[in-house]
Amino acid sequence: MGKLNYCYIRKNTPEIQERLKELGIPQNDFDEGDRPWIAYNHGLWISVDEGHDRLFRGEIDCGDSEDLFFALITYDKEIDKNQWFFSTGWTMGPENIPIPDKWIYCDQNTLEQFAWVNNSPNSYSREIWKKATIEELIQHFKSE
């Protein structure tokens, strides 16, 4: 299975909790959701106190980046939906002018469906677009 098991974000808002519910990620039954941070662990979320990072050192610290937190908790090597893809290393024209890396969020079941929905069936080839790994997601969202 290609899923991430542990990460946390250093904030807790009603909007984050609502988005977790929309994604179908259940809250731990013993949690009231009122602590200042949110941790994701084995498919559940739980609110946690500051200092959680000192107790569970193996978890990925998302800081206050909601983009990174949601990219990590929805990460799955086996599917395309809710995954991030990127294209890198391309140049333009005879002068080989570098084109900046491009990132897309696939909100369809497959990258191919994403291409058709966006009227660009030839623009989203798997030869050009690579599904981001956990390490690449961390690097991308922490550098934004």
Q: What is the mean pLDDT of each run of 10 residues along the chain (144 residues)?
A: 76 97 94 93 89 73 95 94 89 78 93 90 82 94 84
User: Domain limits at 46?
Assistant: 6-73
Is 92 found in the same domain as 33?
no
Dmax over Cα atoms in the chain, in whole Å? 61
Residue 53's pLDDT is 67
Q: Give me the amino acid identity at 113.
A: Q
End position of a domain, from candidates 73, 108, 124:
73
Residue 126's pLDDT is 85
Is residue 78 assigned to a domain? no
Is residue 1 assigned to a domain? no
Is 66 found in the same domain as 37?
yes
Is 93 found in the same domain as 61?
no
Residue 1's pLDDT is 40
User: In whole angstroms, what is the distance from residue 42 CA to residue 3 CA?
Assistant: 9
User: In whole angstroms, what is the distance from residue 79 CA to residue 11 CA?
Assistant: 28
Is 124 found in the same domain as 87?
yes
Burial of 9 (0-12, 13-18, 19+ CB in 10 A): buried
> Is the CB of residue 20 less than 8 Å from the CB of residue 71?
no
How many domains would you assign to the chain? 2
DSSP 63-89: TT-HHHHHHHHT-BTT--TTEEEEE-S
Residue 55's pLDDT is 65
> Is the CB of residue 76 less than 8 Å from the CB of residue 83?
yes
Token pair listed for 104? 């897309």
Taking CA atoms, 88 is separated from 71, 72, 85, 98, 133, in Å, by 19, 21, 10, 9, 14
Is 92 found in the same domain as 61?
no
